[in-house]
Amino acid sequence: MHDEFPDDDNGDVLRRIKAGGDDFDKPRDIDFTVVFETNEAAEQFAAQFRELGHKVSVNQSGCVADLPWDVRVVKFMRPSHEGISEFEETLEFSAAPLGGRNDGWGCIRQSVKH
């Protein structure tokens, strides 16, 4: 059944949301979360993506104990393995020098109309 998407974390998520009836042809906001140890690092990272025109928010959630600062970067796109993976690589490239790392992504399902 692992035909359409690669057998990795992003592929697993995409398979689940497609099985739930999502219409992947419909672009939507996809929220990417990147976590940091300090507010300063999170804000420095956030500023880079605000300058690129993305909606960005910074919160202290503590979901990851040693990296309590979450930066949510929103990208309007169609959900695709290639697109999501490429944007995660871009985020990781900018986050790593600041001690940050990716912590997942999510979006609101767009139903297929019958």
Residue 85 confidence (pLDDT) above 60: yes
User: Tens of pLDDT along 101-113?
Assistant: 999 998 877 776 6
The answer to whether domain 26-107 has CATH 3.40.50.150 is no
pTM of the model: 0.89
Enumerate the domain spans of the chain: 26-107
Alpha-carbon span 46 to 2, nearest angstrom? 35
Average pLDDT, the chain: 92
Within 1-114, strands assigned E span 28-36, 55-60, 69-77, 101-107
Band of pLDDT at residue 2, cut at 50, 70 and 90? very low
Which pLDDT value is given to residue 76?
A: 96
